[in-house]
Copies of this chain bind each other. A is one copy, B any other.
């Protein structure tokens, strides 16, 4: 994979152009985008709902199921990047800052092996 493909800014730009070329920006207000995101999260959840928790990683080694999961995850990412874009949010920067905060809040030697409380 090229570095460019792997860049959040590049992917965000591609999605923005996709919307612009179809004159779909008019539909992309934040509330509508969150609902679209929820729709994709629902499809992702459905893939796993009846799979025994301990078997999920193994079962999704199957190429067809892995591909389906990859598609749904990609759909969620697409709407998430589009939402960040219309809100002019630098999602990569915010994710790094959030991770720095979590590193301080959850000191490794203190919380090791304990189920994290809700974030």
CB within 8 Å of B: which residues of A? 1, 3, 5-9, 11, 14-15, 18, 21-24, 26-27, 29-32, 34-46, 48-54, 56-57, 60-61, 66, 69-71, 73-78, 80, 83-84, 86-99, 102-103, 106, 108, 111-113, 115-116, 118-119
A103 to B19 CA separation, bound complex (whole angstroms): 10
Chain B minimum-CB-distance residue to A113: B23
Tell me the number of copies of this protein.
Answer: 4
A57 to B3 CA separation, bound complex (whole angstroms): 31
Q: Pick from B29, B51, B92: contact of A54, CB below 8 A.
A: B29
Given contacts A71-B98, A80-B73, A95-B78, A31 and B51 within 8 Å (CB-CB): yes
